[in-house]
Amino acid sequence: MNISIFYEKKDKYKTIRELTYHIGNVGVDLKKNKENVQDRDIAQYSYDDAKYIRKEMQINNEDLYLLYIYINVYAKSPKELEIQINNVEGILESNGIETKRANFRQEQLFFSCLPTMQNEYDIKNASKRNVLTNGLVGTYPFVSSSIFDEEGIYVGNNIYNNSLVFIDKFNREKYKNGNMCVFGTSGAGKSFFTKLQIIRNWLIGIEQYVIDPEREYETVCRNLKGSLFKIGPSSNTYINIFDIRENTIEENKGYLAAKIQKLLGFLGLIFGELNEEEKAKLEEKLIETYKRKGITFDDKTLYKANKENRIQIKEIFKSSYEMPKIEDFYKTLQEDKEMKKYYTQLTPFVKGSLSYLNNYTNIELENKLIIADIYELGEENLKYGMYIFTELFWDKIKEDREKKKTIYLDEIWRLIGITSNKDVASFIYKIFKTIRKYSGSSVAITQDVSDLFSLENGIYGKSILNNSCIKTFFSLEEENICILEKYTNISEKEKIEIRSLKKGECLMFVDQNHILVKIDSSEEEKNII
C-alpha cells in the first residue's frame, strides 16, 4: 500500500477569531438548551474543544493544521483487494482511528497518493480533520534517530528504519563520557551484547578488564587469547588487598592516605557499616601496620635503592612482598583487647575458608583482555573479589592516559547496593566520574535494577546512571521499569516498548538520542560467544 499525508496550515489570527465567535455562540446555546441532554452534551464537547484549541494557540504558541491521510491499497484481484482493505480497516479501527472508503472517488485518491503533491479537491472535505502542532509531530511515521559515528563500533540495526548503528563512545567531541549502563532480565540478551562489545573492542586494540562473577566470559577470553585470573579456594593466583602500587597516587593525596580510604571501604564490607569513631580506630591500626613495614605518609618510604643496577643508582617502588597483608593487620588488632570483635571477624581471612585472600600478589596485567573470574568465592563473598579486582584494574587504568581502555562491572549492584557500604559505592562512583580523564570507559551491567538503587535512597545508582552517556535497556520486569521511570526521562511509549522487547532487542539512550536496536552479529562472533 501507499500512504500519503497532507498538512495545511490555517491562518492563526483568523482561526482564533472564528473560535472566539464559536465559543460565544455555543455558550449562549448551552445556557438556553436545558431540555435535550444529547444535544447539550454534543454542544458541551464542541465548546470545550474550541476553548482548548484557543488556549493552546494563544498561550503555548501552537498552530492549527488541517490533516489529510490517504491509504492506497493494491492487490492482483478484486477478492484479494477486499481482504487487504478489511485487514487495514481492522488494524486502524482497533486503534481508534475512523476510516472511510473512497467510493466513486478512487481515481482522485490514487492521484493524491502519487508523489506529485496533488491533494484532490473532491476528497478533501470528506477526509479533513484539524490537529495542533503537538499532535502533528506524531504523524511523521518514518522518522527515527540514527547514529553513525565514523570511528564507531557496530552495535546493531535500528528497528524502525533498519539503519546501521555505529557508536564511538570515546568520541569526546560528541559524548561527555564513554560510560555505559546495561540493564535487562536474565535471558534478555545483555550478556550476549556485552561479549559482542568485548570482541569488537578487542579487534581495534582497546584494553579491557572484566569482573566476571558468574563465569560467563571464560570462552570469549580463551578464543581471544586473553588472560584469565581466578580467585578462590582452588586457585593459585592471588592479590594482596594491602598492596600500594606506584600508579595509585591520587590528586592532592599521598600514597598511604589514598590507600587507607580504599581499605576502610573494603573493611566495611567485612565489618558492616562503620561509624566515624570505628573508622578512626581502624585507621590508627592500619597506619601502625604499614609503619611496621617501614611505610609512612612520607611517599619516599615506598621507594628503595635498586641493588641490581650498581652503575646507576635509581630508586624503585617496593614490591608486593614488602607490603603488609591481612595477617599483619590481624596481628596488630590482636594487640588491642578493644579491637577483639574486629580481629575475630578477620579470622576466616587469616586461618579459615578465605585465607587465599591473605597472600602476596603474583599476577601481571600485561594482556589487552583480562577476565577476573570470582565465581568460586560463592554468593556471600563475591563482593570481596569484585572490590579487590576493581581496585586493581583501576590502578592499571591510571597508568597511561593515552591508551583507550574499558572496565566491565557485571552484577554491579553488589558494590553499590544494600549489601555494600558508602565508601565502596563512592569509590565506584568516582571511577565512573573520572575515568574519562584516563581515556577510559566504565560499563555497569545488572539485572537487579531495584538493588542498584537500594543504598542511601538510590543516590549512588542514580549518580552512575547520570554519569553514563549510553544507557541500554533490554526487556525488563514491570517493577524494574517503574524504578527506572523515577531516575530517567523514559516516556510512556518507551515503557511499553521495553515491556514488548524480544530477545536481542534493546532501547538505547545515546546522549539525547533514543533508538530501538536489534543486536546483530556474524556467525563467527556467535561461535566465539
Q: For residue 411, give the amino acid letter.
A: E
Grid look-up 578488564 returns 209
Report how far residue 386's alpha carbon sits from residue 395's, in angstroms, rounded to the nearest whole number. Answer: 14
Closest CA to 69 of 107, 91, 95, 102: 102
Nearest to 166 by CA among 179, 153, 178, 157: 153
Q: CB-based contacts of 12: which residues, under 8 Å, 6+ apart? A: 57, 63, 64
The whole-angstrom separation of Cα 521 and Cα 479 is 30
- In order of 174, 444, 511, the CA distances from 178 in angstroms are 10, 12, 10
Alpha-carbon distance 475 to 479, whole Å? 12
pLDDT of residue 492: 86
Would you state the pLDDT for residue 309? 57
Position 17 scores a pLDDT of 92
Buried b (16+ CB within 10 A) or exposed e, 4-24: bebeeeeeeeebbeebeebbe
pLDDT of the residue at 162: 85
Give the CA radius of gyration of the chain: 32
Give the C-alpha separation, 317 to 249, whole Å. Answer: 13
d(CA 240, CA 384) in angstroms, rounded, equals 12
* C-alpha of 143 from chain center: 24
Q: Which residues pair with 66 in a beta bridge?
A: 8, 130
Contact 519, 155 (CB under 8 A): yes
The CB-based long-range contact list for 482-488 (8 Å cut-off, 24+ gap) reads: 483/449, 483/450, 483/453, 484/183, 484/449, 486/453, 486/458, 487/453, 487/458, 487/461, 487/462
Q: What is the pLDDT of residues 269-314, one digit of tens each?
A: 999 888 999 999 999 999 999 999 999 999 899 988 776 655 555 6
Q: Residue 144: what pLDDT?
A: 64
Pairing mode, if any, of strands 505-510 and 315-317? unpaired
Structural contact between residues 288 and 334, judged by C-beta atoms closer than 8 angstroms: no
Q: How far is CA 458 from CA 135, 266, 336, 449, in A?
A: 36, 20, 37, 10
pTM, full prediction: 0.74
Q: What share of the chain is helix, strand, coil (3-state, %, to 5)?
A: 45, 15, 35
Residue 305 has what DSSP assignment?
E
What sign does the CA torsion over 401, 402, 408, 412 have?
A: positive
State the pairing for strand pair 64-72/405-410. Answer: unpaired
Q: What is the pLDDT of residue 252?
A: 58
Residues of the chain predicted below pLDDT 70: 33-38, 141-145, 248-252, 307-314
